Structures are given as structure tokens and as C-alpha cells.
Structure 1
Amino acid sequence: MREQYTSVRLKMHSEHPLLRILQEPLRQARLERVTFRLHYDFTADPLGVLFLGHMRSGRCRFRSGRDEVHVRQGDAFLLSQPDASFGGMVDSALIDFAAVEPSLLGDIAQNAPGVRGPVRLLERQPFSPLAGAQWAHTVGLIHELVSSPLTVKSPLVTAQAERLLAAATLAAFPNTTLTDPTIEDRRDAHPATLYRAVTYIEEHPREDLKVTDIARAARVSVRALQLAFRRHLDTTPMRYLREVRLHHAHEELRDAIPGQGVTVTSVAARWGFSTPSRFSTLYRQTFGVPPVQTLWGERRVLPPSGQTVG
């Protein structure tokens, strides 16, 4: 426990305890499924990360300072803030955890005007049981995505999985960000802002772009940037980035030379698409044909029947 987390003091109440930890590390986050076949009390030093959980079964009681939370089956909860010590009781539980670097929240959102410091979560429980259930569902999908052998690993895919986790967390738990545009944001959401943002995206599609990077290049807040894209293009900055990457992938497939090892899977991963099936769906919706047809071309010899391509 000390090697994986922090200094922990345990008091066991089980004769034959079992602790099993399955981890899926990302870059700024880590997903875990932890099985506790034991009953114990513990206290722990700060972890340096946001540590959130979803109680799949069992019962727990967690405390930090004077705040204590009783967690029941199905609940989502914030176990600890990055800089706070904590403790509690666990009794034969199965819990999905997400450890999130605090800076990850700041990659996708900005604090409300007048709020200083990093983006923070304000409460240990979600806005509502429904918000908690949606967070748990999203974390489950991300866990399946990153652990699946069908998922192609690439820096862009990992970054997008992490940002989905951060977005789900901000949507579920009270925090210091402001989602509604201010008067200044509405004023800044003009065509010149959109032009600067679109230019930046189209010049840097291979880079691991965050919405905060695009807003900085456009010289506006994240809220003003998002409003500009909704107002003028009826889309979002990150969806526009995905479309730009999809067109680059199309060009790469179209220009590929047979025999040089280019596959649909490799192209999809290079442009940030986590699975070939998802890439194929988006590709067909945009270009009207499956990506393999573009790769082989109308005048090229198609692969033998039954042969898998890329």
C-alpha cells in the first residue's frame, strides 16, 4: 500500500484478508479496480492526486478532517483531495477508483472569474445520484477502452481518454469552474476569435491539443472559445479538431502506396482514434465509404475475400 499510494496505517479485523488491485495507468490519471476481502480501519497521508471512487459492492466510511461520508453500493464519491490526509473503514468491498492529477482538470476548463489557483472539486459527493451514476458509467467505459486489446495505444488516444475522465468529473462534482459565458465571453465570441482558433487547429493537428491551448492561441477564455464555435459553426473546438484529423487520415489513406505497411489501424491511431471500429464509423459518415476502400483505391486490387485489412 505504501509503495502504490502513500504512508498508510492499517488496523486489520480479518483472519484471512485479501487485497487485489488492478491498475490501468495513463499519463495524468490512473484507473483501478480494488477488491477488499477484509475489514480494516486506516489513516493515510495526502496522495497528491484527486482520488475518486465508485462503490460496486460492500460498505465504507471515509473521513477527511471533520467531514465524514458513508458510502453505499452504487455511490460515487471523492475519497480525498490532493493535499488532505484521510482515513476510514472498509468492509469487504469492490470499488472502482480514478486517481486524477489536479492539473488535468485545468486542461479542459477554467475557474470562474475571481477564483484563483487550480481548478478544484468543492464537495465529496456528486451533484445528484444521477450525476454520480453517469460519472461511474463513463469511468467504466474508459476503463474498458484503455484495457481492451482492440484499443490502439497512442499518445493522442491516451490524452483523449484522460480528458473524457476530467470532463466527466467536472460534470458530476461541484467545482470552481464556470460553464456559462460571461458578458465579456459573449463579446469575445466573434468571427476573429473563430478564425484564430481554426487557424491554430489546422496548423497543429498532430499535436496533443487541449481546449485551453486553443483558447490561449485565440486570446480568449475557454468559455468564449466554446461559444464562438457554437455560434458560428454549430460545433465545439474539440469536435472541429476531430474533423480536421479525420480529413488528414483520409488524405493519408488516399495517398498510401501498397506494400509500404500502411493500415487503417495504424492511420487511425496516429490521428487519435482509439479503435478501428469507431474510426470506420466516423469515416463512413463523413466520406460515404469505409476507410479500407480509400486505402486500396478504386483501381487497386482489393484483398482476397475474408482477408482482414489493418
Structure 2
Amino acid sequence: MQSLDFESGDLAVTEEFLNSAYTRMQIGNDGPREVRTRIRREVLGPINFDQLDMGFDMAYDADPLGRVCLVTIHSGQIEEIYHDFGPDTFVPGQTGMLTPHDLPYSGVIRTSRFDATMFDPAILNRVATGAGEERVRLSGHRPVSTTAGHRLRRVVAHLQQIASDPDAANSPLTVATASDYLAATVLTTMPTTAEHEPDATDRHDAHPDTVRRAIAYMESHLGDRIAITDVAAATFVTPRALQLAFRRHLDTTPLEYLQRLRLAAAHEQLGAALPGDGQTVATIAYRWGFTHPGRFATAYRRAYGRPPRQTLRG
């Protein structure tokens, strides 16, 4: 779905748009203010980042959305009725799940300005360790702690910035990394059904050969879209066993090691760049999945003792 902008002061037009952009629903004006709706969407691969400004009290009764929907409230409030949890209210500064992806939902948006981040729930299953054949679900609608909520908001805000940058949003590796990054953050900040502890088989499989096979696979797919589940499948172990093997033998995680390899690839490309070939630190960083230039520069300096621009110019 492409980026979009919508603005209307008509209830029927707003309802028609919401039906086409989200899911089938009925809406009504539940307050004294006149209808005013503004919605803007940025797209980053499979993730939609919507900014909504509802200038009236919009009551809604909607069919299942089919997507995980996280909301961050900036003003006003959203009163949601959860089939599993009962009624709850989101107020400014809070982030959580608006609705389970496979259940109808209803409530009232009270003159609110908020962000909605939506993605296919299958992404959670692809990234989750220990998911097996079971589909991972969010088992609650609020983060597991205040600290987790802050972290989730920061990650969403970071990815919104990336989505608004055409160069980043059009980079396949950036898109793949971003979706994995969001899914991994949701899995660690929201209550889910994913399992996290290795079993006896996982502990048995966490041997040095597992690490060697995983590294070989990473090195041969460095520029490809790969998640921990892909590495585990290529290594013939579970994601839990892979995590344990890297912790046991290298004192790191598979994703941290993959980032180290990509940082080395960026270092090599920076050093090989020629004057006038159009390459910049930012484009090379994006090529290897580093979406935040400042964080890339910090990681690069930590690894190589100088800023990446010096390597490029050298």
C-alpha cells in the first residue's frame, strides 16, 4: 500500500475512506465538535506508519483489521473495548496494541492525535525464537513494563523517520532490517505467546559446529534479507539453540555478529570508494542495513578508531 494523505470534514466521506484504508467499519460523531479528520501514511516495506488527527469524538465498530496495530497517543484519548480484556483507555504518552488482528473491535477516539503502526502478524512468527509451528500472538495490549513502553515508542519513532526518507524506504536491505527490528522489539516489549527458554535438545545442539555453519551462511548472504530463523534453518538447529551457541562460544548474539560482519563490509566498501563515484557514507551505510547514520558512525568509530568519512576520503 502506498503513502497517502487524507483530509475531510464530512462524516460519510471519512467513513468511506476508513473502510478502504483499514477495514469495514461504521462510525459516528459521539461529541459536540464538528467532524475533522486528517490522516497521513508513510510506508516502509510491510509496515504502515499512520499519523491520525481526529478532531472530533469518533465512535467506531469495526471488523477484524487483519494486522497488528500499535498506537502511540499524543493528545486526547482512545477508549477501546477489548473482547479478551474488557474496556481500557489510552492517554497521551502511552503506547500499546489497539486491537488483536483477528477480532472485531470498537470504541471511541476522543478528539485525539495519535500514531498507528501496522504490520502483518506473520512477521512476528518469522522473527520469534522458539515459535515452532505455533503462531505467535500478542497476549496483552500493553507493554510488559514502563521501560518496555519507552523502548517501543523510541523504536517506532526511529522507524517513522526512516520511512519518511525516500532513499532508506527504497532500500531492500533497509526494509528487511526495519521489519525484523520492529518485530524483535515487539516480541521483547509486549506480552506474547513466544517461548524464549532453550530445551535439552537446544542445549545439545549449541556446539561450535553450529556457530561455524551459521557464520558461513551469514558471510555468503551478507547482502540478503535474512532473519535469525533463516540462519537457524540453514544450520539445522532451532533459533533457541542458535542463540545459545553464540552466547556460549562467542559471548554475543547471532544478530550482533551479523551486524559486525556488515560493519566490516561497509568498512571495505568505504575504503574502496573512488572520488567522483557518487558514494557517500550514508549510501554505503544503507547498503549494509545501517539505517541511522549517527549510530552507524558511532559503531564504526568504536570498531575502527576513526569516523567513516575519514575512511571514505582516505
TM-score class, shorter: 0.7 to 0.9
Report the Cα distance in structure 2 between the residues aligned to 1:62 and 1:112, rounded to whole angstroms: 29
Q: Does 1:278 align with 2:295?
A: yes
Q: 1:52 aligns with which of 70, 86, 96?
A: 70
Report the Cα distance in structure 2 between the residues aligned to 1:207 and 1:151, rounded to whole angstroms: 16
Q: Mapping of 1:42-191 within 5 angstroms?
A: 42-65=60-83, 67-73=85-91, 74-111=93-130, 116-147=133-164, 153-191=170-208
Structure 2 counterpart of 1:301:
none
Give 1:33 deviation, angstroms: 2.1
**Equivalent residue letter for 1:39:** D
Structure 2 counterpart of 1:11:
28
For the 8 Å contact 1:111–1:176, the answer to whether it is kept is no
**Equivalent residue letter for 1:96:** D
Alignment TM-score, normalising by the size of structure 2? 0.86
Moved over 6 A (4+): none
| Inter-CA distance 292–112: structure 2 relative to 1 (3 Å threshold) | closer
Report the Cα distance in structure 1 between the residues aligned to 2:29 and 2:150, rounded to whole angstroms: 31
Q: Does 1:294 align with 2:311?
A: yes
Report the Cα distance in structure 2 between the residues aligned to 1:106 and 1:234, rounded to whole angstroms: 26
1:65-123 deviation line (CA, Å, top 9, x unaligned) = 3642321323333222222111111111122211121111122213456xx43211112
Report the Cα distance in structure 2 between the residues aligned to 1:77 and 1:275, rounded to whole angstroms: 24
Listed as ranges, the gaps of 5+ residues in structure 2 are 1-17
**Equivalent residue letter for 2:59:** D
For the 8 Å contact 2:130–2:196, the answer to whether it is kept is no
Q: Does 1:223 align with 2:240?
A: yes
**Equivalent residue letter for 1:60:** I
**Equivalent residue letter for 1:222:** P
Q: After superposing the two structures, state which structure 1 stretch, 279-288 or 1-10, moved more.
A: 279-288
For the 8 Å contact 2:80–2:108, the answer to whether it is kept is yes
| Inter-CA distance 296–59: structure 2 relative to 1 (3 Å threshold) | closer
**Equivalent residue letter for 2:95:** A
1:134-170 deviation line (CA, Å, top 9, x unaligned) = 3223222322343357967522122222222112211
Identical positions, percent: 37
Give 1:58 deviation, angstroms: 1.6
Report the Cα distance in structure 1 between the residues aligned to 2:130 and 2:80, rounded to whole angstroms: 28
For the 8 Å contact 1:16–1:38, the answer to whether it is kept is yes
For the 8 Å contact 1:211–1:238, the answer to whether it is kept is yes
Aligned residues: 295
Secondary structure of 2:41 counterpart: strand
| Inter-CA distance 200–10: structure 2 relative to 1 (3 Å threshold) | same
Structure 2 counterpart of 1:305:
none
Secondary structure of 2:101 counterpart: coil
**Equivalent residue letter for 1:50:** V
Q: After superposing the two structures, state which structure 1 stretch, 258-267 or 162-171, moved more.
A: 258-267
Structure 2 counterpart of 1:203:
220
1:24-59 deviation line (CA, Å, top 9, x unaligned) = 211222122211111121111111111121223222
Q: Does 1:36 align with 2:33?
A: no
| Inter-CA distance 248–138: structure 2 relative to 1 (3 Å threshold) | closer
Give 1:292 deviation, angstroms: 2.6
Indicate the RMSD between aligned Cα atoms, in angstroms.
Answer: 2.2
Q: After superposing the two structures, state which structure 1 stretch, 90-99 or 254-263, moved more.
A: 254-263
Secondary structure of 2:42 counterpart: strand
Report the Cα distance in structure 1 between the residues aligned to 2:84 and 2:212, rounded to whole angstroms: 50
**Equivalent residue letter for 2:241:** A
| Inter-CA distance 254–72: structure 2 relative to 1 (3 Å threshold) | closer
Hey, which of these two has a bigger chunk of helix by percent?
2
